[in-house]
Homo-oligomer: A and B are copies of this chain.
Amino acid sequence: MSNSVFNRFKDRLGEVIDVQAAIAVLHWDEEVYMPSKAGEGRGRQLATLSALAHRMFTSPDMGGMVEELLGHADSLDPDQRKLVEETWYDYQRAVRLPDTFVERFAEECSRSYHAWVTARKESNFSLFQPCLETMVELLREKAEYLGYEGSPYNALLEEFERGMRMEELSTLFFSLAPRLIALARRISAADPPDTRWLDQSWDEQSQWNFSLNVLTDMGYDFEAGRQDRSVHPFTTNFDLYDVRITTRIDPRDLFSGLMGSIHEGGHALYEQGFLEKDRRTLLAQAPSLGIHESQSRFWENIIGRSLPFWQHYLPELKKQYPGQLDSITPEQVHRAINRVRPSLIRVEADECTYNLHIMLRFEIEVALIEGAIYVEDVPALWNAKMKQYLGVDVPEDRLGCLQDIHWAHGAMGYFPTYALGNLYAAQLHEKMLQDMPEFWNHIEQGDFSPARQWLRGQVHQVGRRQTASAIIEAATGAKPSAEPFLRYLCGKYSALYGLKNVDMMSSKD
């Protein structure tokens, strides 16, 4: 009996996933190719489809099947059982949100996204403020629907980093912040690398071609994906065999587009690495965004900003830019792309100051959701915290609180997962080096398959079968911790900047 129920359940779930895939296609198109006047219509379409997917998923029929299957869990194999349990988890959260709320939320997200695009272009926060106010209201409402312990922020955080709590993050960030600030200050006092050779114009098509080569070498399957350009780089997935990425190309910046490609390529390798048998189910998903971000950060920072990587790729890059890089060595590239410099833009931040950008956003988000501040306070608060953490002045909102898409998309509780991703990546990498002492030799030869295979087995193929924390522990033998990340930063920057006696483990440094 329960086998036929299971099959019917899986079909119904597959249909919900098909509608979610359609939603993802519409979002992708909206950010990549959609003409400018089409925003309102697209918003309505997304609202209709979101409400539909929600209605399908929360139907009493779906709930009944899942409950029945849970009652006969013994007759299910482990994969089936896991799928039913994970569906039950999502179902219970979903039924708390009324259909009308889901539809309104999707419509506001679309409206707010377009307001943000305009506000950012004109660097005018007031054009975005009303939409952000509505968004904060809706998110507070959403938290009430979902329920929470402690801060209402926890209800939102759960969606992106299951099991994580605002209080735990606060403690973590509270201890990390002074160490990162101290390291950034010591680096600021050292000689900066000479990066004047980067002040040239870098042909866009050559940047594009080079990024495609690197992605291919990483193992990204272009027959099951593609790269396009968008304002804000992202990865999206419509199916196991349709995982797409975007990047942006700046002719004045040789590396930002490439690093965007490698970052999104890391996300995409994860999504192309789920198991075929999990396709069109909830198991072909990451258990948290932190773990997802660990993959992008691993490829972007640990691999893409390493010396062995550039020992391999610099000759190829020189071919793309004849005459422009003749005298440049891999060491010069390595120093330039790891330059630590407190700056305005998160996505361009170095590994030392990056998490400070996250902490600032986290604090503002929590205050907004807890009602401790007004939306109109955001620009001033943003600028004050930028001064405090990074010592920089924000000249205009385009380079400040309008730089990120996330709030416009209704995503609060998302930013902290970037910081967690950095920690997870360093911890996975430390173990990878122990397992494969030849690791850097492979990279120097442009062979990424050992790294990719290690991640496939330890992370990708697990899908959503385990939590982020369990994946890290199973892969590394230790609970998630900030220590490998601090050791990694310490080692990397001590060498790059010739720093001595950096002790990031002590809070005194």
Contacts and interface: CB of A to CB of B under 8 A. Distances in A.
Interface of A: 14-15, 18-19, 21-22, 25-26, 29, 33-38, 40-42, 44-45, 47-49, 52, 221-226, 228, 238-242, 244, 279-280
B41 A21 contact: yes
A302 to B, nearest CB: 28
Contacts of A244: 35
CB-CB nearest 6 A-B residue pairs: A41-B239, A38-B242, A18-B48, A37-B241, A37-B224, A18-B45
16 contacts: A15-B48, A18-B45, A22-B45, A25-B25, A33-B33, A34-B242, A35-B222, A35-B241, A35-B244, A37-B224, A37-B242, A38-B239, A41-B238, A41-B240, A42-B242, A45-B239
Contact of A223 (B21, B33, B36): B36
Given A25-B29, A45-B22, A49-B22, A38 B280 contact: no
Nearest to A15: B48
A238 B19 contact: no
A160 to B, nearest CB: 25
A496 B280 CA distance: 60
Nearest to A29: B25
A222 B34 CA distance: 10
B37 A221 contact: yes
A22 to B, nearest CB: 5
Contact of A226 (B26, B35, B223): B35
The majority secondary structure among interface residues of chain A is helix
Nearest to A11: B48
Nearest to A47: B18
A275 B349 CA distance: 49
A342 B280 CA distance: 50
Given A38-B238, A224-B38, A241-B38, A45 B21 contact: yes
A47 B453 CA distance: 35
Which of A33, A226, A244 counts the most B-chain CB atoms under 10 A from its CB?
A33
A26 B225 CA distance: 15
A35 B280 contact: no
Contacts of A47: 18
Contact of A48 (B19, B33, B238): B19
Given A15-B52, A41-B241, 13 more contacts: A18-B44, A19-B48, A22-B45, A25-B29, A29-B29, A33-B228, A35-B226, A36-B223, A37-B223, A37-B241, A37-B242, A42-B238, A45-B238
Contacts of A40: 241
Contacts of A279: 41
A37 B44 CA distance: 30
A22 B47 CA distance: 12
Contacts of A35: 222-226, 241-242, 244
Given A35-B223, A223-B36, A225-B35, A49 B242 contact: no
Contacts of A19: 48-49, 52
Contacts of A21: 41, 45
A451 B35 CA distance: 25
A48 to B, nearest CB: 4
A224 B35 CA distance: 5
A240 B239 CA distance: 29
Contacts of A52: 15, 19, 52
A130 to B, nearest CB: 23
B226 A33 contact: yes
Contacts of A41: 21, 238-242, 279-280
A46 to B, nearest CB: 9
Contacts of A14: 44, 48
B280 A44 contact: yes
B34 A26 contact: no
Contacts of A18: 44-45, 47-49
A354 B19 CA distance: 41
A242 to B, nearest CB: 4
A42 B35 CA distance: 23
A246 to B, nearest CB: 12
A222 B35 CA distance: 7
A194 B340 CA distance: 67
A242 B37 CA distance: 7
